[in-house]
A and B are shown apart, each in its own frame.
Chain A
């Protein structure tokens, strides 16, 4: 997903940076506003201690709100450093070992494997409200039986349909959907982003899992490093890609990238598309409804569920303060609500009021899709998969021999993971 929109993000941020050079402050320090009497009342005066938290642009206001009450009650300073979401992973990996890293960073759960292998994260305790976290979110931040992050939101892609063209009913299968799309008279029954020539295994994944070809074999809920998308199921999916690709039916095409896809859907030229909650802003001109992805191969179409989480650095000098901040100031209904209001993805915490979102009904649809999803693998091996996987899908859609291309990808990928 981040691979998909990475470039869009690069450009968008660069433009934003250029445009906002004058107003852009990369580092924002919220000054402690605790008065002497308040800190005395709480009996805590951590004045002079400073907690560094890395956040991205979307999450900054919400974390700021949680930090304000923390600062007021403890006297400690919370220094929020705003970074590009995509930079957080590599910066955390490279800066924690040097001692320059933050005490806490936000991040995606699928970075966890690399973080653990590189020894940059500490385990956390979810605290008194542990039972309020959704199970899928807690599972996602669990690595080798230990909890390494405090989750706050989840996300998954889903089927988005133009209600003016095809109504509100969720199609049961891929064929039903295509038929409904064709009957609607739209230019294209279905659009899906392939990131152009690059390929996009993330967006295609629910369709792949409907053939029973998970990217890694799962054992008792957690992923092994054994590639699971080979064999007959994988070949069947490859064949399906080819049949619906540019040399076949043409429903899948490498000419469609993220922006093109959203524009086609927004202009009513596509009856259905598969997208995540982050794309809803692009669909201002059409009436749409969000449903789970229909099955193409007979099994449940399970999208990747991504979880956004707080990580504590293993080299933090302020581990006690950092845990205090997370368990008593972030894992609270108020802070979780603030996080949701700032960036309405699916909450990972029970009791969050989702009606504040711009598209409350869409959130329900994404929730339904996420409920049938699988966590994105957080094992470090996943980082090697994308390039091979995306490229193979792109080639097959463009008309390469499906089974041969797919099996070569499996062989190369397996070799790369072992080497």
Chain B
């Protein structure tokens, strides 16, 4: 590939690669092959998006693919060649996810407001259409006359036929042994094979209702699988022009309100709604509703405490061991270091579950081995549970810091320390004034990242205590070890099928802002460290 910068560079003894370039070299072929693969996958993805009628995704895919080809086959966009893949991932996984969360936070998306308005209408119509009690099951043949579809049934040896507009009436024809019409005068029977193989026709048939008589209250024939029919009666009528649903039995007219619910003129409402924008309501609910605000405040305080204590304790313990094992007088350094890193290699949520068992008041080995079999209720007492969470997380977290600090210690220049020694500084003074500050330069950003991670450490809480023990004095089931993220999960109700994604998204954004601010402030502090 040619580059402008290389071309402008002063010619060294050897010729620059760019000047050396004589047409399509290996690099170009490799690039071509790679881009062929990218294009192949891209086109395949575009085609499946086309099939799924996902126009937005299709548009984005086309855009990304065209941009990719342009970036990599143009000679001028060198920086973009490096940045582009990262940029695509950033857009998809960060910007889109954040934007979508922000969008959901302004809606009432959740249980009862789960789909579009049309789907809510569909649901209301489904729920209102009931089988007429005592309806027989009629053997059915679907018939057609040109474009008009109809149902023909055998009823007590007679052939009855009807269409959407024409109620059932007796007509000439023949029935087979099971009572199913095999020939209907003036109508052509649609073979069952056609019904099952033609999706559009099948939909027409399942949507078709043939009135039993002129009296609409007697109901109409309906088929589900195309070979039998039963009499159903719907009590709900949808008027698309007036945008209302009318209950024909009670006469109540349901019209849509701005909360995504059909409300009747008698004040009742239909169970199925659709999701609509509710502005900032979810945000205000989280801070003003006393049921949420009070426990959430306590949970926020604990979340900060947990994240800070976890980072502080595991950092200090890791540093302590790193200092000890960095001393050349320790024998078997490598083996010991490997052993120390072990907890770091376990899967954290499995570890948490194992600890849950070990901390069991009655059967756990912690009490049996270390506390003479006393029934210390590690996970049942609020403060002990908090202590347990921090201790378990310490066990999980310190190997990481041991690793980081060992690396950082080994990269410190021995000259500085020697100079300090010559100046007469003791061990403690050396550590306090030289080693520790220099260590902080490289570890502080990691500590901030670790803080942000532990702020949202869902696994350990969910698996170890499930947020419990619950508060006694709040009216929503949140507990003493709940972090904001587990509280959000609890409030979102995904587990119980009573989801409130809108509120959960709003809370997630609040947490994001909090973590962002804390991190930004902390990073600003670390700049000062670098001036040492």
CA distance A314 to B350 in the complex (A): 39
CA distance A14 to B347 in the complex (A): 11
CA distance A6 to B493 in the complex (A): 15
Q: What is the interface size of chain B, counting residues whose CB is below 8 A from a CB of the partner?
A: 68
CB distance from B134 to the nearest CB of A (A): 14
Determine if A315 is an interface residue (Cβ-Cβ < 8 Å): yes
CA distance A394 to B291 in the complex (A): 22
Determine if A364 is an interface residue (Cβ-Cβ < 8 Å): no
Q: Which residues of A contact B498 (CB under 8 A)?
A: 114, 380, 383-384
Q: How many A-B residue pairs have CB under 8 A?
A: 190
The answer to whether A320 and B379 touch across the interface, beta carbons within 8 angstroms, is no
The answer to whether A96 and B197 touch across the interface, beta carbons within 8 angstroms, is no
Q: Which residues of B contact A7 (CB under 8 A)?
A: 353, 463
The answer to whether B499 and A93 touch across the interface, beta carbons within 8 angstroms, is yes
A117, A254, A314, most chain B CB atoms within 10 A: A117
The answer to whether A255 and B196 touch across the interface, beta carbons within 8 angstroms, is no
The answer to whether B119 and A323 touch across the interface, beta carbons within 8 angstroms, is no
CB distance from A105 to the nearest CB of B (A): 14
B192, B195, B199, B497, most chain A CB atoms within 10 A: B497
A383-B497, A388-B477 known; A43+B468 contact, CB < 8 A: no
Interface size class of A (residues with CB under 8 A): 35 or more
Contact of A255 among B225, B363, B472 (CB under 8 A): B363
Q: Which residues of B contact A319 (CB under 8 A)?
A: 202-203, 206, 224
Q: Select the stretch in B85-93, B120-128, B247-255, B320-328 that faces chain A.
A: B120-128
Determine if B34 is an interface residue (Cβ-Cβ < 8 Å): no
Write the chain A residue with the least CB distance to B232: A123
The answer to whether B127 and A144 touch across the interface, beta carbons within 8 angstroms, is yes
The answer to whether A11 and B193 touch across the interface, beta carbons within 8 angstroms, is no
Q: Which residues of B contact A243 (CB under 8 A)?
A: none
Determine if B114 is an interface residue (Cβ-Cβ < 8 Å): yes
The answer to whether A119 and B361 touch across the interface, beta carbons within 8 angstroms, is no
CB distance from A384 to the nearest CB of B (A): 5
Q: Which residues of B contact A118 (CB under 8 A)?
A: 111-112, 114-115, 123, 272
CA distance A74 to B191 in the complex (A): 13
The answer to whether B475 and A320 touch across the interface, beta carbons within 8 angstroms, is no
CA distance A6 to B462 in the complex (A): 12
CA distance A125 to B227 in the complex (A): 12
The answer to whether A74 and B196 touch across the interface, beta carbons within 8 angstroms, is yes
CB distance from A410 to the nearest CB of B (A): 11
CA distance A7 to B356 in the complex (A): 12
The answer to whether A117 and B111 touch across the interface, beta carbons within 8 angstroms, is yes
The answer to whether A321 and B470 touch across the interface, beta carbons within 8 angstroms, is no
CB distance from B376 to the nearest CB of A (A): 11
> 9 tightest CB-CB pairs across the interface, nearest first?
A119-B123, A97-B115, A383-B496, A255-B362, A118-B114, A387-B477, A320-B202, A44-B193, A119-B272
13 additional A-B pairs beyond A196-B360, A314-B122, beta carbons within 8 Å, are A45-B193, A46-B193, A46-B196, A117-B111, A122-B126, A146-B130, A260-B360, A320-B195, A320-B206, A324-B196, A380-B497, A411-B475, A412-B476
